[in-house]
Amino acid sequence: MYLEDAAKRVEELRRELEEHNYRYYVLDKPSISDAQYDRLMRELQDLEGKFPELQSPHSPTQRVGGSPVREFGTVRHTVQLLSLGNAFGPDDLRDFDRRVREAAGEVEYVVELKIDGLTVALTYIDGVLSTAATRGDGVTGEDISQNLKTVYSVPLKLKTPLRRLEVRGEAYMPKDSFEKLNLEREENGEATFANPRNAAAGSLRQLDPKVTASRNLKVFAYNIIYQEGAEVDSQLASLDFLKEQGFLVNDQFRLCKNIDEVIEACLDWGEKRNSLPYEIDGMVVKVNSLAAQEELGATAKSPRWAIAYKFPAQQEETVIEDIIVRVGRTGVLTPTAVLKPVRVAGSTVSRATLHNIDMIREKDIRIGDHVLIQKAGDVIPEVVEVLAEKRTGLEKEFHMPAVCPECQAEVIRYDNEAAHRCTGIACPAKQREGIIHFVSRDAMNIEGLGPAVVGQLLDAGLIHNAADLYSLKFDDLVKLERMGKKSAENLLAAIEQSKERGLAPLIFALGIRHVGARAGKLLASNFKAMDALSKAGREDLLEISEVGPAVAESIATFFRQEQTDEFLDKLAAAGVVMVEENRQKSESLAGKTIVVTGTLHKYGRKEIEEVIEAHGGKPSGSVSKKTSFVLAGENAGSKLDKARALGVEIITEEEFLGMVGGE
Ligand code: IVH
């Protein structure tokens, strides 16, 4: 076949396959069999294989997931993602309605289901999907385009090639897919997800798009944030338009003439919520007219034209089978109820925190009690009340242990505290929690070292504290249960990499009381080296304006301990960087302005910028005649086109590596 004929057929196949995807995933009305679909897909794959010049990031063949990335890039949202104000009952809804009518007169509302998943922001340029991002902090999110492309309900191409369209939606996992996934994971000895929302989040934040592709995620599109070329003047029309363009739109919305109808819809769905094949955690009420929305505007945090109605927390009855005590990093003993497992709000609950002894006494909670527990959203389940009428007389009162359950050291309660604390310096629980903290993301960020592995390492006597991590050997690791060769190698590499993490995260990792990630940064930039910080007295510390007496005292005490010295010496001997590094590595990119576009294999977006700067270059976001060159990764988009148009030099990742000495 000639290229020209192949190109024609490829176009045809893509159009057909897209139409079938749409019929299947959005309209739920397939018109061909799976086998016929597979045949078309194979034909397209073959042609794209034979004629690589016909490949396209927007081809339906891309749905299976491309190659893994090392880290997600960041995306700056063109329109900030606001959050919604909450209404917890009819009164709150009436207040909202009053505020709306005072500002915009009589309005109609659209009431939609509030899908319990994750916000995604989709940008289409000239009718094709250009980026998909997570919410992040509302201003910048993570670039998860490669993952979202594997989600069939997200169109890769719009029906009409609009100049620009930005859509917000909710990515979620249907209940049945969630149950199936957890079953599989249980059989494979992997940790299960607590609820569909966590499962969806875990599936989207995968560096390997093929994993996302295997997870049956869906996206309901619910808002148009920005558009050029469409004519819509209401939320209702937006939903229609989105559906026409190929998006999956939830069809359980209701147009309400007044707030009474809104309240009715909200209460109605509160009753029916469990009958849906996906989870919802409330309703979203939106002013229908876009003109009225504009008039109402937004506060710094949320739009005035919409509100989230939150369903009351779901409660269930169960039995407290036991009360155990957990010891945290700072030695606090937390009584925890062991429950007869029960399903609440979409997940199975078998533990509830009892906070402290005062709360147990206040609610008069005893072992063996029938209790009402409640779970609201992400919050740890808690006991609402004891069903005293169900008591048999066999229930047992709980007492805080006099000695620590993990190390038998004395337990004390300071006068001004609700908590009991273990006094043992070498308490294994404190040590374990301390190590878990040390390796956590904002601290030394050692990937692949979760609580389970830390537990295994301690149990096997391979480590006693976090500094011992740096002397672990490959042979030690592969002996551990469920640790393959590959994971052991990856873990060692992650540990090695953490040595260069820098002073601020290291200070945070030490777990000094009152010293969080922010204080870590502050101390690092003031003292520049661990040595200087460790010698600082209370007075020196108080000179930093943001450090108060409690923090200063805590830091000074920490560094007075002999154990601390030993610990830091060990880290230093292992080669852990303990000074604020001058990150300048060479001048090879001096005077060069560099624009990075597309996905790179070796670096994330932030990382590559650091590398450019470390070699004297200047990273920039937009291509102009002054750009020295454009570093183009996979799936590069409009910036690449612009570079070509302006005649700016384009280099590959390999070429870049050559320039910076293989960094
Ligand atoms: S509209 C300007 N509609 O609920 C705010 N949000 O804070 C636009 N959500 O995490 C939000 N279903 O992702 C809207 N039908 C729906 C929704 C919805 C779920 C989520 C949203 C965000 C939270 C609202």
CATH number of residue 57's parent domain: 1.10.287.610
Q: Is the Cβ atom of 115 under 6 angstroms away from ligand 1?
A: yes
* Mean pLDDT along residues 448-458: 91
Q: What are phi and psi of 91, to 5 degrees?
A: -65, -45
CA neighbor of 212 nearest in space, from 278, 151, 145: 151
Amino acid at 171: A
pLDDT of residue 346: 67
pLDDT of residue 544: 86
Q: Is the pLDDT assigned to residue 264 strictly greater than 70? A: yes
pLDDT of residue 210: 87
Q: Report CA(260)–ligand 1 centroid distance (Å).
A: 22
Contacts of 651 (CB under 8 A, 6+ apart): 629, 630, 631, 632, 659
- Known catalytic residue: 479? no
Q: Report CA(284)–ligand 1 centroid distance (Å).
A: 7
- Out of 390, 415, 446, a domain closes at 390
- Out of 292, 310, 328, a domain closes at 310
Rounded Cα gap, residues 332 and 113, in angstroms: 41
Q: Is the Cβ atom of 111 under 6 angstroms away from ligand 1?
A: no
Same domain, 173 and 263: yes
Q: Is the Cβ atom of 235 under 6 angstroms away from ligand 1?
A: no
Q: SS3 of 497, please?
A: helix
Task: Decide if 530 is inside a domain.
Answer: yes
Q: Is the Cβ atom of 119 under 6 angstroms away from ligand 1?
A: yes
Residue with tokens 């102009």: 624
Nearest residue (by CA) to ligand 1, atom 13, is: 119
Q: What is the pLDDT of residues 210-244, one digit of tens each?
A: 889 889 999 999 999 999 888 899 999 999 999 99
The rounded percent of the chain whose pLDDT value lies above 90 is 57
* Mean pLDDT along residues 568-580: 94
Q: Is the pLDDT assigned to residue 582 strictly greater than 80? A: no
Q: What is the atom index within ligand 1 of the atom nearest the CA of 114?
A: 12
- Give the pLDDT band of residue 106 (cuts 50, 70, 90): very high
Q: What is the atom index within ligand 1 of the atom nearest the CA of 308?
A: 24
Q: Is the Cβ atom of 308 under 6 angstroms away from ligand 1?
A: yes
Q: Report CA(70)–ligand 1 centroid distance (Å).
A: 30
Burial pattern 342-354, b for ≥16 Cβ within 10 A else e, equals eebbbbebeebbb
Q: Is the Cβ atom of 114 under 6 angstroms away from ligand 1?
A: yes
Q: Is the pLDDT assigned to residue 378 strictly greater than 80? A: no
Contacts of 192 (CB under 8 A, 6+ apart): 182, 185, 186
Task: Decide if 199 is inside a domain.
Answer: yes
Residue with tokens 């002054």: 626
* Mean pLDDT along residues 539-556: 88
Q: Is the Cβ atom of 224 under 6 angstroms away from ligand 1?
A: no
Q: Is the Cβ atom of 157 under 6 angstroms away from ligand 1?
A: no
Q: Is the Cβ atom of 304 under 6 angstroms away from ligand 1?
A: no
pLDDT of residue 193: 81
Residue bearing the bigger pLDDT, 30 or 263: 263
Rounded Cα gap, residues 22 and 14, in angstroms: 12
Q: Report CA(217)–ligand 1 centroid distance (Å).
A: 17
Task: Decide if 269 is inside a domain.
Answer: yes
- DSSP calls for 205-227: S-SSHHHHHTT--EEEEEEEEEE
- Give the pLDDT band of residue 541 (cuts 50, 70, 90): very high
Give the chain's length. 663
Task: Decide if 411 is inside a domain.
Answer: no
The number of C-alpha atoms within 13 Å of 167 and in the hemisphere containing its C-beta is 33
Q: Is the pLDDT assigned to residue 277 strictly greater than 80? A: yes
Terminal C-alpha separation, the chain: 44
Where residue 323 sits, what CATH number does that domain have? Answer: 2.40.50.140
Ligand 1 pocket test, pick from 77, 113, 115 with the greatest ligand atom count within 8 Å of Cβ, gives 115
Q: What is the 3-state secondary structure (H, E, C) of 514-551?
A: CCCHHHHHHHHHHHCEHHHHHHCCHHHHHCCCCCCHHH
Same domain, 286 and 363: no
Task: Decide if 583 is inside a domain.
Answer: no
Nearest residue (by CA) to ligand 1, atom 2, is: 82
Ligand 1 pocket test, pick from 96, 114, 276 with the greatest ligand atom count within 8 Å of Cβ, gives 114
pLDDT of residue 376: 59
- DSSP calls for 229-275: S----BHHHHHHHHHHTT-------EEESSHHHHHHHHHHHHHHGGG
Tokens of 165: 């369209």
Nearest residue (by CA) to ligand 1, atom 4, is: 114
pLDDT of residue 232: 93
Q: Lowest-pLDDT range, 32-46, 54-68, 232-246, 393-407?
A: 54-68
Same domain, 474 and 605: no
Which range is most confident: 268-272, 313-317, 336-340, 420-424? 336-340
Which residue in 8, 29, 50, 114 is the catalytic one? 114
- Give the pLDDT band of residue 593 (cuts 50, 70, 90): very high
Task: Decide if 75 is inside a domain.
Answer: no
Nearest residue (by CA) to ligand 1, atom 18, is: 114
Q: What is the pLDDT of residues 294-324, one digit of tens each?
A: 999 998 889 999 999 998 877 889 999 999 9
Q: Domain residues for 380?
A: 316-390
CA neighbor of 356 nearest in space, from 339, 341, 336: 336
Same domain, 563 and 602: no
CA neighbor of 278 nearest in space, from 251, 239, 256, 296: 251
Q: Is the Cβ atom of 22 under 6 angstroms away from ligand 1?
A: no
pLDDT of residue 580: 85
Q: What is the largest CA-CA distance in the chain?
A: 87
Nearest residue (by CA) to ligand 1, atom 10, is: 119
Number of neighbouring beta carbons within 10 Å of residue 327: 24
Same domain, 468 and 603: no
Same domain, 492 and 637: no
Contacts of 26 (CB under 8 A, 6+ apart): 153, 243, 246, 247, 248, 249
Cα distances (angstroms) measured from residue 632 to each of 291, 604, 620: 41, 13, 13
Angle (nearest 5°) at CA 185 between 181 and 190? 145
- Out of 544, 574, 604, a domain closes at 574
Q: Report CA(605)–ligand 1 centroid distance (Å).
A: 27
Sheet holding 85-87, edge to edge: 85-87, 306-310, 280-287, 109-115, 254-256
Residue with tokens 């139409």: 19
Q: Is the Cβ atom of 170 under 6 angstroms away from ligand 1?
A: yes
Contacts of 283 (CB under 8 A, 6+ apart): 111, 112, 113, 114, 265, 266, 269, 308, 309
Q: Is the Cβ atom of 491 under 6 angstroms away from ligand 1?
A: no
Phi-psi region of 268 (alpha: psi -120 to 50; beta: other; left: phi over 0): alpha
Q: What is the atom index within ligand 1 of the atom nearest the CA of 253?
A: 15
Same domain, 486 and 560: yes
Number of domains in the chain: 5
Same domain, 631 and 487: no
Q: What is the atom index within ligand 1 of the atom nearest the CA of 119?
A: 13
Q: Is the pLDDT assigned to residue 385 strictly greater than 70? A: yes
Rounded Cα gap, residues 660 and 657, in angstroms: 5
* Mean pLDDT along residues 429-450: 91
pLDDT of residue 379: 58
Q: What is the pLDDT of residues 147-182, one digit of tens each?
A: 999 999 999 999 999 999 999 999 999 998 998 888
Task: Decide if 166 is inside a domain.
Answer: yes
Q: Is the Cβ atom of 83 under 6 angstroms away from ligand 1?
A: yes
pLDDT of residue 33: 86
Same domain, 93 and 236: yes
Residue 101 near residue 107, CB atoms below 8 Å: yes
Where residue 245 sits, what CATH number does that domain have? Answer: 3.30.470.30
Q: What are phi and psi of 327, to 5 degrees?
A: -110, 125
Q: Report CA(114)–ligand 1 centroid distance (Å).
A: 6
Rounded Cα gap, residues 223 and 170, in angstroms: 10
Q: Is the Cβ atom of 303 under 6 angstroms away from ligand 1?
A: yes
* Mean pLDDT along residues 116-131: 95
Same domain, 288 and 140: yes
Q: SS3 of 13, please?
A: helix
Q: Is the pLDDT assigned to residue 398 strictly greater than 90? A: yes
Rounded Cα gap, residues 504 and 528, in angstroms: 9
Nearest residue (by CA) to ligand 1, atom 22, is: 119
CA neighbor of 93 nearest in space, from 231, 263, 208: 263
Q: What is the pLDDT of residues 328-337, one digit of tens each?
A: 888 889 899 9
Q: Is the Cβ atom of 440 under 6 angstroms away from ligand 1?
A: no
- Give the pLDDT band of residue 546 (cuts 50, 70, 90): confident
Q: What is the pLDDT of residues 608-646, one digit of tens each?
A: 887 888 888 888 888 888 899 999 988 887 888 888 888
What's the chain's average pLDDT? Answer: 90
Same domain, 462 and 522: yes
Residue 304 near residue 297, CB atoms below 8 Å: yes
Instruction: For 277-331, list the strands marked E by DSSP.
Output: 280-287, 306-310, 314-327
Q: Report CA(40)–ligand 1 centroid distance (Å).
A: 37
Residue bearing the bigger pLDDT, 315 or 494: 494
Task: Decide if 155 is inside a domain.
Answer: yes
pLDDT of residue 583: 61
Phi-psi region of 433 (alpha: psi -120 to 50; beta: other; left: phi over 0): alpha
Nearest residue (by CA) to ligand 1, atom 17, is: 114
Where residue 649 sits, what CATH number does that domain have? Answer: 3.40.50.10190
Q: What is the atom index within ligand 1 of the atom nearest the CA of 250?
A: 15
Same domain, 652 and 533: no
